[in-house]
């Protein structure tokens, strides 16, 4: 899956996360944003989400203005932008290239 990597310095790049098992996906996400735990922040009124460092504030990371504007609240550090797809088994993170859909 392809996710957008957004930094506090306003740089943006595409990262490829291999779609094997969830543990390997999480490990790749941890490495991409240099963290040990993540949190999923839903972007209001869309199917988009931000994958953020759960301890970013404690670690003193800089404000990520682009991510904060999307989330409608302060977000710090480097983040990954993806989509959420609703399935029978639960919500899944998917590539950012999907269509923007209203959140139901």
CA distances from 89 to 20, 40, 85, 86, 92 (A): 17, 17, 11, 8, 9
Per the model's pLDDT, the better-predicted residue between 6 and 20 turns out to be 6
Alpha-carbon distance 89 to 42, whole Å?
19
pLDDT at 97: 64
Give me the chain's average pLDDT, please: 86
pTM for this structure? 0.84
Tokens 């490990």 map to which residue? 27
Tens digit of each residue's pLDDT (9 = 90 or more) over 68-97? 999 999 999 999 999 888 778 777 777 776
Mean pLDDT computed over 9-18: 90
Confidence at residue 93, expressed as pLDDT on a 0 to 100 scale: 76
What does the CA dihedral 49, 54, 56, 59 come to, rounded to 10 degrees? -170
Question: In 1-104, which residue ranges form alpha helices assigned H by DSSP?
Answer: 22-33, 65-71
Q: State how far the Cα of 15 lies from the Cα of 7, in Å rounded to an integer.
A: 13
With a cut of 60, say whether residue 20 has pLDDT above it: yes
């Amino acid at each position: 899956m392809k996710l957008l990597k957004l930094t506090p310095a306003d740089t943006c790049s595409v990262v490829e996360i291999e779609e094997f098992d969830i543990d390997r996906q999480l490990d790749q996400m941890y490495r991409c944003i240099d963290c040990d735990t993540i949190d999923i922040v839903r972007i209001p009124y869309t199917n988009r989400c931000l994958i953020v460092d759960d301890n970013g504030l404690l670690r003193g990371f800089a404000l990520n203005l682009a991510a904060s504007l999307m989330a409608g609240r302060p977000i710090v550090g480097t983040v990954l932008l993806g989509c959420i797809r609703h399935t029978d088994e639960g919500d899944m993170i998917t590539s950012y290239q999907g269509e923007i859909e209203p959140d139901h």
